[in-house]
Amino acid sequence: MNKSALLTLLLGIALSSGAQEMDKMMETRAREMIRVIGLNDRNEWKKFIEENYTKTLIDKPMRAQRDGGEGNSTSNQGGNVEGKVAMYEMLHNDFAGGRITSLKATGNEIRMTVSSGDLTGTFTLKFAKEKSWLVDGIGVEVGN
């Protein structure tokens, strides 16, 4: 095997190993997020957000829109940790005790389905591409 072919092989192994490490870290963060949402502890929600979200995501205002039997409601969550904690409270009310029924990583994104009673939600988590792989975007679609 010539030096060029050996270098290509080693580079391929290194990239594959890095991708596997990233996938594992993203999956770990996604599973931990669902576990933490299930807790009835605002301090744990806040700690998870501070340790696992990028500053950009923490600072970004989030909007929650709910479709209910009585009509639609929209609320804006502030662009700070407390705004994200308010979002976790809403998710806790819907998904505490829920279980992950599917989880698929593609690139720097995970799509995860969580079921709790008659309610199902699809969580889409985007991760920073830097080795910290912090959560850099989140979306949740809820259906029955």
The pLDDT tens digits for 16-64 are 455 688 889 999 999 999 999 999 999 999 999 999 999 999 999 877 6
Q: 29 is written with which tokens? A: 């963060």
User: Domains of the chain by range and CATH?
Assistant: 3-143 (3.10.450)
Q: Model confidence at 72, in pLDDT bands (50, 70, 90)? A: very low
In this predicted structure, what is the pLDDT of residue 137?
95
pTM of this prediction exceeds 0.85: no
The pLDDT tens digits for 79-88 are 789 999 999 9
Q: 113 is written with which tokens? A: 């389905």
